[in-house]
Amino acid sequence: MPEITASMVKELRERTGAGMMDCKTALLESGGDAEKAVEYIKKKGLAKVAKKAGAIAAEGVIHAYVHPGSRIGVLVEINCQTDFVARSDDFKQFVELVGMQIASMNAQYARREEAPAADVAKQKEIFRAQVEEEQKQSGKARPADVVTKIVDGRVEKWLAESCLDEQPSITDADKTIAGLAGELSAKIGEKITVRRFVRYELGEGIEKKQSDLAAEVQAAISGS
């Protein structure tokens, strides 16, 4: 797989106006060839979607998805520009998919710019501590710049896994949720946005009592 640099993505974005994730995908699909990537974006209609980026998407739905077994539930708001599109089958299918995606993959944020700086800093601290522990276990110290690169790489991976729009779709691992939203926008001609969501898991946050049956039996015998 070719290495796609930030400068390559930036240049393609400036040429096409497409989103950063779409530009990265286009470059990956095109083997790093900028001209082929431009063609890819045109074929997918992503440049047209970018023109709608400033449009106001205030219609849409609030969708409730409950996973089979009723142990996980999701409330998600997905916006479009008109009520007509909100009632369309394509939009409804996308909404259902997003609800399933959040339930299954436990996204923490809709997009990375919404990840609080405190959360990112905390994860960076955790990953740095992990690297330091790995060094202790192996007895091999790494240069400071190498440690920083490792930590930054793990933070990047964590963000990609935690942000809904960067997660691979559970129905098509070759496409991200942002990519599917872009394709739908190109198809219907309206801006599509996953605005916010909340995920509930049964018993989450409740401190459950841990019982030791053997100890309880022994205590009962001793007390008799």
Summarize pLDDT for 77-121 with one digit per residue, the tens: 999 988 888 999 999 999 999 999 999 999 999 999 999 999 999
The pair of structure tokens assigned to 143 is 């240069």
Q: Which architecture characterizes domain 57-201 according to CATH?
A: 2-Layer Sandwich (3.30)
Are 131 and 147 in contact, with CB atoms under 8 Å apart? yes
Using a 10 angstrom Cβ sphere, with 0-12 exposed, 13-18 middle and 19 or more buried, the burial of residue 65 is buried
- What pTM value is reported for the model? 0.67
How many separate helices (H) and strands (E) can be counted in the chain? 10, 3
Are 44 and 21 in contact, with CB atoms under 8 Å apart? no
> Residues 134-142: what's their mean pLDDT?
88
Q: pLDDT for 162-208, tens place per residue?
A: 999 999 999 999 999 999 998 898 888 888 999 999 999 998 878 76
List the domain boundaries for the chain.
Answer: 1-51, 57-201
pLDDT above 90 covers what percent of the chain?
52
Please enumerate in sequence order all residues whose Cβ is within 8 A of that of 138, keeping only pairs 6 or more positions apart, or say none. Answer: none
Buried b (16+ CB within 10 A) or exposed e, 32-43: eeeeebbebbee
> Residues 144-166: what's their mean pLDDT?
94
Q: What is the pLDDT of residue 17?
A: 66
Max mean pLDDT among 15-29, 35-49, 86-100, 183-197 falls in 86-100
CATH number corresponding to 1-51: 1.10.8.10
pLDDT over threshold 90, residue 62:
yes
Are 63 and 194 in contact, with CB atoms under 8 Å apart? no
